[in-house]
Amino acid sequence: MPTDTTTQDITEEIRGLFDTQVGHFADKSARWLFRQKENVRGLIRILAEDLEKHLDFQRLKVLNRSFVDDTLRDLQSDMVFSVPFRDAVQGEDVTVYILIEHQSTVDRMMGFRLLFYMCQIWNEQRGELERSRVPRSRWRLRPIIPIVYYTGSQRWETPLSLSAVMDVPDVLSRFVPRFDTLFLGVKKTDPEALTKTDHLLGWLLRVLQEDESDVGSLYDALQATLHYLDTLPAAEAVQHKNAILYLYHLILFKRPETEREGLIQLIQSHTTDTEVKNIIMTGAEALIEQGIERGAREMSVHNIFTVLSERFSQAEVEPVRPSLETVSDLTMLNELFRIALHISSVEAFLQAIDTLDV
């Protein structure tokens, strides 16, 4: 996110990433994290620190997923990057691809899926060489580092290999493709293993570990992460801003309404960025407005039932409930309350609901 982005631009970008159903939040938040090249570096540092020094993350590029079939693209949660690999011996750069597959559920076929995606990436590379008219003698496919980023709560016990989903006699095992896969199961990883790298991503994942825990455990992890954010140098203001926004939306989507206000206030107290505060305040105001409207609606429905129950029997009034609960407009509910005061029968009241075209 550019440092000169306006509040409106940031707000629109946030809405694009997070204005989604709760069930889709895991995938969208993963994309939010790894669209920032520094977090890709952080993931590599956690899983394979020996590789970090060889990869030039300043030149990392996010690749589109044109190689994924159109019929599958909306179902996939993979992220693909290219990054130069610096050979310390020969002094040459070799482009490496990083494939991050986000999973929120265990998939026994993950080994096959990874190989399928990798072959599609290599086929796209082959097609590009062909389109560029590179002589076949100079064709070189680029290596791929596959990573499974797993945020589910169930323990992942299935090996990430093809042989794990095959009945393979020993004599045939040499014909099964093999490749290494880096795996991070966020929820089951030792918290110290995430934070010992001293990278911001590890601290954000520490909070993600507790997104479904009791509020005390979440609060402790959140507070520790915010204290870490306070130590970031001014040069990392953009990372600080993105981290605050990630934590804010994590609380917004993953915690019950009764806990949000206090946790969001804690997050807000650790930023002086006006744009970020405006985004958080705008979100808080929207929640308050939703709460007020919902409360007003519930009170109106309650008042209508109270009036009808005083005038008619409970058995007569109860069938009104399904129809009345479909009414969301407060003006209509106010009108129905007025009608309930004078209506001659429950049947006539149901007709009134239909007349208002709800």
DSSP summary character for residue 143: P
Q: In angstroms, rounded to a whole number, what is the distance separating the alpha carbons of residues 91 and 57?
A: 17
- Whole-angstrom CA distances from 98 to 49, 57, 77, 145 are 15, 11, 14, 5
Q: What is the SS3 assignment for 93-139?
A: EEEEEEEEEEECCCCCCHHHHHHHHHHHHHHHHHHHHHHCCCCHHHC
Residues 6+ apart with CB under 8 A from 69: none
Q: Give 55's strand partners.
A: 85
Q: What is the DSSP string of 66-83?
A: TTS-HHHHTT--EEEEEE
CA angle at 264 for the pair 263 and 269, rounded to the nearest 5°: 100
Q: In angstroms, rounded to a whole number, what is the distance separating the alpha carbons of residues 13 and 282?
A: 14
Q: What residue type is assigned to position 328 of the chain? A: S
Contact 87, 93 (CB under 8 A): yes
Q: At what angle do helices 274-311 and 7-18 cross, to 10 degrees?
A: 60
pLDDT value of residue 88? 55
pLDDT value of residue 66? 53
Query: What are the pLDDT tens digits along the chain (358 aa)?
Result: 344 444 455 445 555 555 545 557 788 889 889 988 999 999 999 999 999 989 999 999 998 765 555 444 444 557 999 999 987 555 566 899 999 999 999 999 999 999 999 999 999 999 999 999 999 999 999 999 999 999 999 999 989 999 988 999 999 999 999 999 999 999 999 999 999 988 999 999 999 999 999 999 999 999 999 999 999 998 898 899 999 999 998 998 888 888 888 898 899 899 888 878 777 776 655 555 455 456 567 777 877 888 888 888 888 888 887 777 778 777 788 788 888 888 888 888 888 887 775 4
Q: What is the DSSP string of 8-23?
A: HHHHHHHHHHH-S-GG
pLDDT value of residue 31? 87
pLDDT value of residue 284? 55
Neighbours of 191 (CB within 10 A): 15
**pLDDT for 120-147, tens place per residue?**
999 999 999 999 999 999 999 999 999 9
pLDDT value of residue 70? 47
pLDDT value of residue 90? 59
- Residue 129 has which token pair? 């060489």
pLDDT value of residue 296? 62
Q: Which of 2, 88, 5 is nearest to 51 (CA)?
A: 88
